[in-house]
Amino acid sequence: MKNLFNNIRPYTEKETLVAVEKLFTNPDFIRQLSIFKDKINVDEWVKEVLACKDQFQFHLTFANRVFHYFIEKTCKKNSYSGFENINPENQYLFIGNHRDIVLDSSFLQIYFFKNGYDETRSAIGDNLLATPMFVELAKIHKMFLVLRSGTLKEKIANTHLLSSYISHSIFEEKESVWIAQGNGRTKNGDDKTQQGLIKMLTMSEPDNAMQQLKLMKITPVTISYQYEPCDQLKARELALSENSPYQKQKGEDTKSIIEGITGFKGETHFVIGKPLQQEFDLIPPELPLNDKLSFLCEQIDNQIYSNYFLYPQNYIAADIQNNSTRFSTQYSEDEKSDFVNYLNKKAIVSDVPKEKMMKNLLNIYANPVKNKLILLFCFSAFLLSSFLSLSAQNNRLTNENGQLLWQYNQNVVVDEKQNSFTVTFVFINGISQTAISLRQDLFNSQIEWIETNDIQVEKDERVSFLTVNLAPHQSVVFKYEIKTKLIDKELLLEKSAVFIMNEDFEIRKELISEQNFTKK
């Protein structure tokens, strides 16, 4: 079976020791280690490495010290949690948010070493390994290759191979695996699990897809950086790719790897989430596979958002972006001044206007706040639905690839004493530009808008409405109170509707039916 995976698998223990002997007696490689000489006696270190008798001892002697060297130089404080969620006797598929090419999975390995675990196997794109030395270093550190290039037929075959290898690692070789939640790093701070990734995992068992995923013990892991690795490079790439596909220059990936490792990160926090198990029992068996996979992506994302640690820089960016002071208690004026100066410096590049750079930089830091707020709102609505007289209506639409086009949720809380309803409407846009118009009938009611996202409210005869254009992945929250008359001990919330127009100017009407509430 190993021969099947020879093009992508890491080295076995025996192969690792042979490769280490070759690499650490190579004068060119040893000269590269001189960058560590300010903290490490390189000659003694090489002797220790060559004396290692097994793979774990080598990883502890070399990789662990390399990680700590850079962390001590580039981080002020590092913390972690979540080991109570896993069992050292089991294997897991760790799916993580992806902010840095090397460091995201490295932090998992650091904390594994700290708690007496061996390294997991980790995925890395073959396009990121620019030299034979990089390939050797990857393979001796239990990294397996994700093959990116080739014809369409070759890419499909490589995807099946990757699926089979991950399954083989977990079930046959009893090795845990780390893989990023999507193809490439998150460039805008908006962590989303790609449905295609989850579908890839099922290709080795297409007739038993959901059971296969459940047995893998999918475990979301979250890394939070106070200062985003390569934030300037990411903001620039997003700006240059607005109107045409971005063309990477030679050596650009290597530059990102080096800058990510050596750049200042401030504080970091790493969380191992809870393995997805009970979530599978919530999925109706009659749902199409794409809907089931979409639900799993949401569960992974929810844990990542919940476990993401928000720093003052995130709150500052959110307030600047919305021209508000909503989160001003989360930071000081000195912190705000320092971060604004930091952003102004990062926004200066030769080939992108400062305004575009600033917009993209703010998104990187503000989007985690937005995602956590949406999650908290949905959780609060769930709690209210458990304890109050409350009803909810919702819907979502995906395309043929399972990608989210939009989803909405309307929650209603009844106040019996005031004869009123409080309505909260959340709309989350998907992959495309969308315009929506929320309209509430008022034939026998009065309305007071509580939260409008600074959008102008209009009135047409017996209807109150507001309209907004939404960028991809943007979300809005509207809240209003409806006062109505009590008739035969019944309160009536009149019907409402949301009109959703896509980029092709096609309009879909979502009718939210009237609701009756009987007073006790």
pLDDT, one tens digit per residue, over 28-70 is 999 999 999 999 999 999 999 999 999 999 999 999 999 999 9
141-155, 302-316, 479-493: the lowest-pLDDT one? 479-493
Q: What is the pLDDT of residues 103-133, one digit of tens each?
A: 999 999 999 999 989 899 999 998 888 788 8
- pTM to 2 decimal places: 0.75
Report whether 358 contacts 343 (CB < 8 A): yes
pLDDT at 1: 54
CATH code for the part of the protein at 389-518: 2.60.40.740
Cα angle 227, 229, 232; round to 5 = 90
Domain locations along the chain: 76-229+265-309, 314-378, 389-518
Q: What is the pLDDT of residues 292-315, one digit of tens each?
A: 998 899 899 999 999 999 999 999
Report whether 75 contacts 158 (CB < 8 A): no
b/e map 180-205, b = 16+ CB within 10 Å: bbbeebbbbbbbbbbbebbbbbbbbb
The DSSP secondary-structure symbol of 243 reads S
Q: What CATH number matches the domain at 76-229+265-309, 3.40.1130.10, 3.40.50.720, 3.30.70.3000, 3.30.360.30? A: 3.40.1130.10
Q: How far is CA 469 from the centre of its chain?
A: 24
Judged against a pLDDT cut of 90, whether residue 198 lies above it is answered with yes
* 3-class DSSP state of 197: helix
